[in-house]
Amino acid sequence: MEMSAGSAISAGIGAVSADCRALATRARNDAFSFWKLPEQWRDALEPMILSSEFIAERFLFESYLSRQGYRQSRQTRACHKLKRLIPFPVRRRLNEATIRARVKPEFPHWPCESALLEFWSEWLRLSLGMLGRDDGWHIGFWPDGHQCCVVLTHDVESSSGFARIERIADLEERYGFRSAWNLPLTQYRIDWNLVTRLRARGFEFGAHGLSHDGRLFRSARDFASLAPIVERMAAAHGLRGFRAPSTPRDASWIATMAFDFDSSFSDTDPYEPWPGGTCSLFPFMLSRMVELPYTLAQDHTLIRLLHRSPLPVWVMKANWTASVGGMILTLTHPDYMGDGRLLGAYEDLLRMLAELPSAWRALPSEVAEWWRERSELQLSIENGGQPVIRRPGSRRATVRRLSEHPLAR
Ligand SMILES: [Zn+2]
């Protein structure tokens, strides 16, 4: 896909349709809502705001991907059925070889894709130009004046992975972190007593579908019959977040699920069974849900598919994400890196993340709650020129100069 920030803006302005206006009542993903600019600027920027949402959501909902490549073909589905007859270790190696052999798409780039960041920057520059301004105010992206955000998540794929949870949780706690653990709800026996104990220590649990059998997103009929079961089981165990098993996903389907937040999307991940990426280093709205894309390469990708040492890629990406004020959201599996040298690499990552200056260490549920809260705040410039945040619940929000943000420079 060719989509430079400048050409995207001009293409999008022409493409604004009644659809955009029909969406006016829900939480938005337009550039004005991303930056949270003063409400006094809204009217003058209205056409720019509408077109920006159209463009941003092409990235965020991955609608730039061709549907043909995105959905599983009939042959792929048939192949999946046949594969079930192959012993698991052989099947896993076959899958890995298939993904390695795949031609890497040019877009989004991996491990860093800046197209959407450039779009947010360019949109702001053009908007300030239209308003005849050099600078202005906005509501900071993170609460309490933090400049970036760190979220640790894990998917637990097997009972042997489950048995390693506590050890990794202890390690994270030593560095001052708490993390989230996503569990496939019918794949193996879950010890809910351990879940209770870890929750008491501040850790969080989410639903990772029912199992990794590929059925949930296989067809609309499968989704319609299985999603309510996932939702019911998740509600019974107080699980408020969701991540699709093996991350097949469809923004319009996931948006209908009864969860507070989702984390099935990446910013860029060409190595998943369904390659793609939202290009976003920030949360965004997926209808009523908050989407928290994972932004650090998965351990499985680096270790099993690429045979690379994970730490250098993680450190580079984490530093880059922090430098643009974004959200570092890790996705690791105790199954793959729960012990030995790889656990040591994870500890090195924790040490590095713990030293990031002004980083907000948060659980997925906290980030989702904050993003929802921030989306409802309004910035207003009072008569004396003072910026004020309106709406209750704004205690943690801070007003910042645009020129202080790395994406606005
Ligand atoms: Zn999984």
Q: Where are the chain's structural domains?
A: 5-64+107-139+379-408, 143-367
CA–CA gap between residue 295 and residue 328 (Å, rounded): 6
Q: Please state the pTM of the whole predicted model.
A: 0.88
Residue 161's contacts (CB-CB under 8 Å, 6 or more residues apart) are: 333, 334, 335, 338
> Checking DSSP bridges between strand 327-332 and strand 180-183, what pairing results, if any?
unpaired
Looking at residue 310, what is its pLDDT?
96
pLDDT the model gives residue 247: 77
If you measure from the C-alpha of residue 206 to the centroid of ligand 1, how many angstroms do you get, rounded to a whole number? 12
User: Could you tell me the pLDDT band of residue 394, with boundaries at 50, 70 and 90?
Assistant: confident
- Ligand 1 centroid–CA 280 distance in Å is 21
Average pLDDT rounded to a whole number, residues 87-97: 65
With beta carbons less than 8 A apart as the criterion, state whether 395 and 184 touch.
Answer: no
Q: Give CA separation, 134 vs 41, 124, 137, 138, 156, in Å.
A: 14, 10, 11, 13, 49
127 CA to centre of ligand 1 in angstroms: 42
Task: Summarize pLDDT for 50-83 with one digit per residue, the tens.
Answer: 999 999 999 999 999 865 444 454 545 555 555 5
The domain 143-367: what is its CATH number?
A: 3.20.20.370
From residue 40, alpha-carbon distances to 87, 382, 385 in Å are 63, 10, 11
For 322, half-sphere exposure in the C-beta direction (CA atoms, 13 angstrom radius) is 19
Phi-psi region at 36: left, alpha or beta (left = phi > 0; alpha = psi -120 to 50): left
pLDDT at 31 exceeding the cut of 50: yes
Predicted confidence band of residue 383 (pLDDT cuts 50, 70, 90): confident
Distance 155 CA to ligand 1 centre (A): 5
Least confident segment among 91-95, 121-125, 294-298 = 91-95
With cut-offs at 50, 70 and 90, classify the pLDDT of residue 15: very low
Of residues 246 and 307, more confidence is placed in 307
CA–centroid distance, residue 191 to ligand 1 (Å): 18
Identity at 409, one-letter amino acid code: R
91: confidence class by pLDDT, cuts 50, 70, 90: low
C-alpha–C-alpha distance, residues 44 and 48, integer Å: 9
> Is residue 26 over pLDDT 70?
no
For residue 25, name the pLDDT band (cuts at 50, 70, 90).
Answer: very low
% of the chain with per-residue pLDDT over 70: 84
Cα 356-293-333 angle, rounded to 5 deg = 75
Determine the distance separating the centroid of ligand 1 and the alpha carbon of 278, expressed in angstroms.
Answer: 19
pLDDT averaged over every residue in the chain: 88
Residue 198 host element (H or E)? helix 192-200
CB distance 213 to 184 below 8 Å: no
> Which of the two residues, 33 and 103, has the higher pLDDT score?
33
pLDDT over 80 (residue 342): yes
With tokens 């990708």, the residue in question is 301
Q: What count of other Cβ atoms lies within 10 Å of the Cβ of residue 210?
A: 18
Q: Give residue 396 CA to ligand 1 midpoint distance, Å.
A: 34
pLDDT for res 195 = 98
Determine the distance separating the centroid of ligand 1 and the alpha carbon of 331, expressed in angstroms. 10
Q: Which residue has the higher pLDDT, 81 or 378?
A: 378
- Give the type of residue at 293: P
Q: What is the pLDDT of residues 265-275, one digit of tens each?
A: 999 999 988 89
The rounded radius of gyration (Å) of the Cα atoms in the chain is 21
Residue 43's φ and ψ, nearest 5 degrees, are: -60, -45
Task: Give distance in angstroms: CA of 266 to centre of ligand 1.
Answer: 14
Averaged pLDDT for residues 293-315: 95
For residue 332, the CA-to-ligand 1 centroid distance in Å is 10
Question: Which residue in this structure is represented by tokens 């809910």?
Answer: 192
43 pLDDT band, cuts 50/70/90, is: very high
Each residue of 120-167: pLDDT tens digit?
999 999 999 999 999 999 999 999 999 999 999 999 999 999 999 999
Q: What is the pLDDT of residue 94?
A: 63
Tell me: the pLDDT tens digits for 214-272? 899 999 999 999 999 999 999 999 999 999 998 788 899 999 999 999 999 999 999 98
Tell me, what's the pLDDT at 250?
87
